[in-house]
Amino acid sequence: MHPVMKLVAQRLALGILLLFAASVLIFAGTQILPGDVAQSILGQSATEKTLANLREQLGLNEPAVTRYFKWLFSALQGDLGTALTNGADIAESLGRRLKNTLFLAACAAVVSVPLAIALGLIAVRFRDRWPDKLISALTLTTISIPEFLLGYVLAYFIAVKLGWAPSVAMINDSMSLFEKLQAVALPVAVLTMVVLAHMMRMTRAAILNVMQSAYIETAELKGLSGLEVIRRHALPNAIAPIVNVVMLNLAYLVVGVVVVEVVFVYPGLGQYLVDHVSKRDVPVVQACGLIFAAVYIGLNMVADIVSILANPRLRHPK
C-alpha cells in the first residue's frame, strides 16, 4: 500500500475509535448525573406507580451497558430517539438546528479565514514594525476577552446605540439570504474576533519558519520582492500548519458556538442543547453531544489528511 493511503487509513480508523470513545463518555456522563430522570419529567407530585411505569417505558430499569448499545446502534441507523419534554423526533429537530449552526459557522469562516491569512501575510511582510505590532495587539486583545462579554458589548453599542444590526439573531426559512446575513451579523462578528487571533498568529509563525530556509534567501537574491517571495515560495510550503489551524478553528466555529448562540438567542444546535439541559432531557443532550463530537473529530481528521497530502515527502516517498 502507498504510504499516503496507509496514513490516511490509519487516520480514518483512529477517528472512528475516538468517536466510539466519545460516545461512551457522553453516555456515561449523562447517566451519572444526580437525580431521577422520571422524577424530573413527572414532577414531585408523581406517584411511585407512575414513576415505575415511566422508568419501564424509558428503559431505565435495564443495565447501563444494554441501554448504551441500544442507543449506539439506533444512532448509527439515524434514530436518535424522541425528546422527553415534547415527544418530538430528535433527528428532525437536530437537522433544522444543525443547518442554522452550519450557516452561522460558514458565514464566520468566510470572513475570518481570508482575513486571518491576509493579516498574517501583512504581519510577516512588516515583521517587527508597527503594522505587525498593531495587528498582534488587536487580535490578542480580542481573543483575551470572553465571547459572552464581546457579544454583550457589540449588542449594546451596535444594536442598541447605533441600530445597525438586530440584537437578537432570529432566522427562518422564509427570510432572504440578505435578511439572514443581516440577522447573524453580530454573532458572526463575535466568532470572527474570537478565532482570528489564533489563525493569524499560526499563519505568521508558519511563514516566518519557512522564511529562514535557504531557498527563500536564493529567491531574494534573484531580485524578487518581499510579497512575491512570500506568495510564490513561503506560503505554499507553509500551507500544512496553516490548514491544520484553520480546520481546528472551523471545528470550534461549529462546536464552540453554544455561548454565542445563547447570547444572541440564535436558533442553532447550541441553543437547542442549553434549552434541553435545563429540562434534563437526556436523549437530546446525548444526541447533541454525539453530533458535536462527530463534527470536531471529523474536521480534525480532515486537517490531518490534508496535512499528509500537502507533504511532498509523503506524496513522493522515493
- Other CB atoms closer than 10 Å to residue 304's CB: what's the count? 20
Q: pLDDT class for 149, splitting at 50, 70, 90?
A: confident
> What domains can be seen in the chain, in order of their start residue?
100-279 (1.10.3720.10)
Output the pLDDT for position 76: 82
Among 266, 300, 273, 265, residue whose Cα is nearest residue 289? 273
Output the pLDDT for position 31: 73
Residue written as grid cell 489564533? 198
Q: How far apart are CA 218 and CA 222, in angstroms?
A: 6
What proportions of the chain, in percent to the nearest 5, are helix, strand and coil? 75, 0, 25
Least confident window among 3-12, 157-166, 183-192:
3-12
Flag whether pLDDT at 38 surpasses 70.
no
More confident residue, 89 or 188: 188
Q: How far apart are CA 7 and CA 301, in angstroms?
A: 11
Of 84-93, 157-166, 208-217, which has the strongest mean pLDDT?
Answer: 157-166
- What residues does 82 pair with on adjacent strands? 89
CA 134, chain centre distance (Å): 28
The three cell numbers locating residue 11: 487516520
- Read off the pLDDT of residues 52-84 as tens digits, 9 standing for 90 and up: 776 666 666 677 787 788 888 888 887 777 777
Flag whether pLDDT at 37 surpasses 70.
no
**What number is the average pLDDT over the span 289-318?**
75
Q: What is the dihedral of CA 42, 46, 52, 57, to 10 degrees?
A: -30
- Helix 282-309 and helix 90-125: axis angle, to 10°? 40
Average pLDDT, the chain: 78
**What number is the average pLDDT over the span 20-32?**
83
- Read off the pLDDT of residues 110-130 as tens digits, 9 standing for 90 and up: 888 888 888 887 887 787 788
The three cell numbers locating residue 43: 414532577
Asked if 198 and 245 count as a contact pair (C-beta separation under 8 A), the reply is: yes
Q: Which residues contact 143 (CB under 8 A, 6 or more apart)?
A: 193, 194, 196, 197, 198
CA 194, chain centre distance (Å): 12
* pTM of the model as a whole: 0.78
> What SS3 state is found at 293?
helix
Q: How far apart are CA 134 and CA 8, in angstroms?
A: 40
Q: How far apart are CA 96 and CA 163, in angstroms?
A: 29
Percent of residues, the chain, with pLDDT higher than 70: 80
The three cell numbers locating residue 200: 493569524
Name the amino acid, one letter, at 44: Q
Output the pLDDT for position 39: 59
